[in-house]
Amino acid sequence: MNKFFNQITNKVTVFLVGIMVFVMAAISTHWVYIMVPVIKSGEQTKADLLVTPYTRLIEQSVNNDNIDQVEEILNHVLLLKDSKLNQPMVVNIKVSLITGKVIERANQINSRYEPFVAETPIFDSLTSALLGKIHLEYNSELYHHLINDAEQRLYVALIAVIILILVVQWKISLLLKPLNILAHYLESVDLNKAAAVPHPKKKMAMEITQVWQAVNQLFSRLQLRDEQLKLEHDAAQNALKQKLEAESANKAKSQFLANMSHELRTPLNAIIGYSEMLKEEVVNNSHPNLTSDLNKIYTAGKNLLALINDVLDLSKIEAGKMQLYLEDVKVNLLVDEVVSIIKPLANKNNNKIVLDFDEGIGTIRVDIMKLRQSLLNLLSNAVKFTTGGKVALQVYREFINDEEWIRFVVKDSGIGLSETQVENLFNAFSQADMSTTRRYGGTGLGLTISQKFCRLMGGEITVESELGKGSVFTISLPVHIKEPMETKPDMESGMLPLDSTKLGRMSKPDRREIRRERRRKTSTVLIVDDDPMACELQQRHLSKQSYDVLCAESGEEGIRQINELVPDVILLDVMLSDMSGWQVLTYVKSQPHLVHIPVVMLTMINEKSTAYSLGATAYLSKPIDREELTSTVNKCVRKAGQETILVIDDDADARKLARLILENDGYSVIEAENGYLGLMRVAERIPSVILLDLLMPNMNGQEFLNELELNERWQGIPVIALTAMELDEIERQRLEKRVSMVIQKGAYSIDQVLNAVREISGKKQQQETQNVNFTDDNSRDG
Amino acid sequence: MQPVKKLRTLAQCSIKTFMAAIFILVSMMPPGLANEASDRRVQISLPLFPRIVAVDKKFQEKLTEDNKARLVFVYDRDKSKANELAKTVGSTNKNIVNVRVDTVPVPLVEQLRANSQTPTAIFVAEPLGEADFKELVLYSINKGIIVFSPYSGDVERGATVGLAITSRVFPYFNNSTLEASGVEINPILLDMSKRYE
């Protein structure tokens, strides 16, 4: 049905038929209900009008009793004819008198139709008495003639319209025929061999001709496009082939770099490790003449390691595999740290370091390792190429196009650079000139890597320099760079996630180290490495750090010892002789009784992502830096044996400060905003100590203490109360019944809090140990 | 606000002007247009009225004591017109079916009185109000006499007989009134007349 109506011919036909039906219905209705009654009424009127004048004549004749005259009048009436049809107007006329006499005259007409009748009474003109009536039958042939005539015209009109519709339909189909031919051609045409559409023999309408031409143009364009596509396809095939070749070459290069780094780092590991050990031995055995030689070996090893690391970094950047690990970094602390590292080098060349930045400059969200490396690179270059001069570091914030940026400007009064040198400055392996390389050393990769790091973080390094007068290098970074991926701890250096607020404190040995040492005193470290030399080096180093260190020289041996010893930390080489380190790691993380052991992966190749995905705690690249190793193992041990402190305070800043202090001292911290939430935290995990603010909404400190007392398991948890209120004697006494210590808020120092926590947690541990001993003694006694 | 007020004032003025124009036109229209039609109907009715009275089958029973046919021309205000109509009919119809005719103009109020003389038939000489006409129809029904009204619409209001004018002039009978009043008309005439059911 739809198909039928979709054809133009049928659409037009249906439209015309519709119009025709509507018009015919309207005409028929008009005819039946208006015209026919009007004509009929007209004919009846004629009959009435005809009878009226003769009535008076007949009435007079009857009054005079002149019947002959009546008959004469009737004959006269019968003679009247219609001018159109030339037929008698009156069929019959009859005068019926009340006396019973009837005078009638009729025309002999064979009419099929009923006549129109007109009747009128006859009165006596003197007495008004009713004398009779006149009955006249008017010929209806004319009426029917008119009706038939009109109906015939209507039929003719109808037939004419039907013929018109058929003609229109035929004409439209004739006009559209070329389109049908075109459609059939397009359906059957082979597009690969499509040529111009054959022109029909008959002349086409202009619009159809336009369609015809458009289709021919389309074919031409299709042919052109096919040719173009073929060319593009060939080009794409070539590009794909080249890409595959390039990828293959790149893969080969990456594999080569990985192998080379492994092969280079293995001997370097021994060189750096042993030279460092020998240095200590030489100092202890008073052979100062050898110290200088050993330093050269150590330094050369370190430099070579730096070069390998740079090459690997560059390789990763170029392969697009360098990842960002973003965190909020306090800029002032980062600058302090970087300057403290660079200061000895500056002093060596009698350079003065000038700092220009606001201590409250705030934070920046960056990959701290990469920013630190870039800053160190610029500053080390500045102090290296300046002698007896000034190196300035300026840091400031500024808005560019509504975006906040931080600029690190390193300005020196050194040898400076020519324009040509500036142009090639950021090209890999390119230094100012060969003489520079010979005189100042370096690989020429540092600036390239720094620039790529900065670009990776959405920023840039720019340089302005004048030969002989000095250089100005500027690192510009957006304060909030977009997250490239989920932020993960950067374990490149083997460090756990570094809280920037702790920068600057890391290298300061203090009483906290002593405490950490006490905690790790009995910790066991298992090294699984098939390289006996590497094993021995790490064993000797960690033993000096008071760890109980054991070695396993194969994967199988390692698994056996892990099961027997359940060590506190595992140092696991990836490339073992009998199995891969990943297999050992997978095994450890699949065993419920071993899963908690921190595993530090030691590897030549960069497979950090694999390590973390399999559950490694940390990741160190060989050759192992001893400081990194110590730091990593310390952190792992601390993490494994951490004490938990619950800080309950409605002041978020106060909670944060407490967290920083305590975490820096090796504690694990959990927080709660009020007493109610504090109870929930205690229910989740019983803390070693609770730091409790007394004045809080929802549930204050005193209410919290009351709730704590109700639970037997919680009664022994030490609580340190912090309050800003001036407590009276009664309140103090009430608190002292439950809390271990009350510290006046606002007046306490970091050390005061730390000492309190250490003292209270220490007491608790001591008490627990005594309880165990007491139980043991009792059991022996028993 | 000001322009709106002005527009409104203009509109009000226009309406007032239009209404005034209509009033003037209506008042200037010849009052005789309607009256002329009525007058013609009355003129046509005058010869027909005695003929209708003559076809009343009980005509003889409705004569006066002195054996006259009393044809009353009732009026409300226009006595002269009633008088004129009565004279016309009286002069052209001295008798009906050999019965002497007495045509008299009578005020409606007087005719409707209980003690008034019952006529043979009544001719409505001027258009009557609804209440008066209704009372007259009831009177004719009670008395069993014909009320002839030449005015358009009066047969529908209850007059016994009037005029139906198409291409011819027909007597126009009210069947209900005929039935109620017991007036019997000669069926020959009744067949040729128009009837209001």
For chain B, how far is it from start to end, CA to CA, in angstroms? 63
- A127: chain B residues, CB-CB within 8 Å: 54, 95-98
Q: With an 8 Å Cβ cutoff, is B186 touching chain A?
A: yes
Residues of chain B by 3-state class (helix, strand, coil), percent to 5 = 55, 20, 25
Q: How many CB atoms lie within 10 A of CB A319?
A: 13
- B53, B166, B188: residue with CB nearest A48: B166
Q: How many CB atoms lie within 10 A of CB A170?
A: 11
pLDDT of residue A775: 37
What span, in angstroms and rounded, lies between the C-alpha atoms of B159 and B45? 14
* A424 contacts: CB under 8 Å, gap ≥ 6: A430
> Could A121 and B167 be called an inter-chain contact, meaning their C-beta atoms sit closer than 8 Å?
no
> Could A123 and B54 be called an inter-chain contact, meaning their C-beta atoms sit closer than 8 Å?
yes
Helix residue ranges, H only, A115-205: 141-188
Mean pLDDT for the stretch of residues B110-114: 87
Are residues A463 and A425 in contact, defined by beta-carbon separation less than 8 angstroms? yes
Q: With an 8 Å Cβ cutoff, is B96 touching chain A?
A: yes
- B189: chain A residues, CB-CB within 8 Å: 121, 130
What span, in angstroms and rounded, lies between the C-alpha atoms of A552 and A539? 11
pLDDT of residue A442: 62
Are residues A329 and A365 in contact, defined by beta-carbon separation less than 8 angstroms? yes
Report the chain B residue with the minimal C-alpha distance to residue A52. Answer: B168
pLDDT of residue B84: 94
B106: exposed, middle or buried (Cβ count in 10 Å: 0-12, 13-18, 19+)? buried
- A132: chain B residues, CB-CB within 8 Å: 188
Report the chain A residue with the minimal C-alpha distance to residue B168. Answer: A48
Q: With an 8 Å Cβ cutoff, is B167 touching chain A?
A: yes
DSSP string, A411-467: EE-SS---HHHHHHTTSTT--S-HHHHHHH---S-HHHHHHHHHHHTT-EEEEEEET
- Of the candidates A371, A361, A359, A375, the one whose C-alpha atom is nearest the C-alpha of residue A326 is A371
Are residues A599 and A585 in contact, defined by beta-carbon separation less than 8 angstroms? yes
pLDDT of residue A681: 85
> Could A120 and B192 be called an inter-chain contact, meaning their C-beta atoms sit closer than 8 Å?
yes
User: pLDDT tens across B121-142, in order?
Assistant: 999 999 999 999 999 999 999 9
Share of chain B above pLDDT 70, in %: 83
What span, in angstroms and rounded, lies between the C-alpha atoms of B149 and B126? 9
Q: Which uninterrupted H or E stretch holds A766?
A: helix A750-781
Alpha-carbon distance values, A634 to A441, A526, A547, A550 (Å): 35, 14, 10, 16
Identify the residue whose tokens are 């619409």. B153
> Could B166 and A133 be called an inter-chain contact, meaning their C-beta atoms sit closer than 8 Å?
no
Pairing between β-strand A548-552 and β-strand B161-165 as defined by DSSP bridges: unpaired
Identify the residue whose tokens are 């250089």. A471
What span, in angstroms and rounded, lies between the C-alpha atoms of B160 and B176? 8
- A136: chain B residues, CB-CB within 8 Å: none
Share of chain B above pLDDT 90, in %: 68
> Could B168 and A51 be called an inter-chain contact, meaning their C-beta atoms sit closer than 8 Å?
yes
What was the ipTM of the complex prediction? 0.76
CA B127 to chain centre: 6
- Of the candidates A221, A186, A43, the one whose C-alpha atom is nearest the C-alpha of residue A117 is A43
- A118, A120, A130: residue with CB nearest B55: A130
- A44, A49, A130: residue with CB nearest B186: A130
Q: With an 8 Å Cβ cutoff, is B185 touching chain A?
A: no
Q: With an 8 Å Cβ cutoff, is B54 touching chain A?
A: yes
- Of the candidates A477, A465, A425, A474, the one whose C-alpha atom is nearest the C-alpha of residue A448 is A425
Are residues A624 and A602 in contact, defined by beta-carbon separation less than 8 angstroms? yes
Are residues A550 and A536 in contact, defined by beta-carbon separation less than 8 angstroms? no
What span, in angstroms and rounded, lies between the C-alpha atoms of A88 and A501? 131
Q: With an 8 Å Cβ cutoff, is A502 touching chain B?
A: no
What span, in angstroms and rounded, lies between the C-alpha atoms of B125 and B107? 10
> Could B54 and A128 be called an inter-chain contact, meaning their C-beta atoms sit closer than 8 Å?
yes
Q: With an 8 Å Cβ cutoff, is A121 touching chain B?
A: yes
pLDDT of residue A254: 66
pLDDT of residue B118: 92
- B54, B188, B189: residue with CB nearest A127: B54
| Residues A567, A573, A579, A580, CA torsion sign | positive
Q: With an 8 Å Cβ cutoff, is B188 touching chain A?
A: yes
What span, in angstroms and rounded, lies between the C-alpha atoms of A105 and A70? 11
Name which of B89, B94, B167 to mutate to probe chain A: the one with the most chain A Cβ atoms within 10 A of its Cβ. B167
Identify the residue whose tokens are 């948890």. A717
Name which of A128, A130, A131, A134 to mutate to probe chain B: the one with the most chain B Cβ atoms within 10 A of its Cβ. A128
**Window A:540-599, CB contacts with B under 8 Å:** none
3-state secondary structure of A91: strand
Q: Retrieve residue B131's tokens.
A: 């209440």
Are residues A279 and A294 in contact, defined by beta-carbon separation less than 8 angstroms? yes
User: pLDDT tens across A37-74, in order?
Assistant: 998 888 889 888 888 888 889 988 988 888 889 999 99
Q: Which uninterrupted H or E stretch holds A310?
A: helix A288-318
What span, in angstroms and rounded, lies between the C-alpha atoms of A677 and A646? 11
pLDDT of residue A752: 59
Alpha-carbon distance values, A408 to A66, A460, A647 (Å): 147, 11, 37
- B96, B168, B191: residue with CB nearest A48: B168
Q: With an 8 Å Cβ cutoff, is B53 touching chain A?
A: yes
Are residues B74 and B123 in contact, defined by beta-carbon separation less than 8 angstroms? yes
Q: Retrieve residue A412's tokens.
A: 């020196």
Identify the residue whose tokens are 């990836």. A574
3-state secondary structure of B124: strand
- B51: chain A residues, CB-CB within 8 Å: 121, 123, 128, 130
Torsion of the alpha carbons at A736, A737, A739 and A744, rounded to the nearest 10: -20
- B54, B93, B167: residue with CB nearest A130: B54
Name the minimum distance, in Å, from the CA of A84 to any CA of chain B: 22
Q: Which residues of chain A have pLDDT under 50?
A: 485-521, 746-749, 766, 768-782
- A44: chain B residues, CB-CB within 8 Å: 167
- A49, A51, A128: residue with CB nearest B96: A128
A vs B, Cβ pairs < 8 A, gives 47
Are residues A43 and A116 in contact, defined by beta-carbon separation less than 8 angstroms? yes
What span, in angstroms and rounded, lies between the C-alpha atoms of B86 and A743? 138
Q: With an 8 Å Cβ cutoff, is A53 touching chain B?
A: no
- B95: chain A residues, CB-CB within 8 Å: 126-127
pLDDT of residue A504: 29
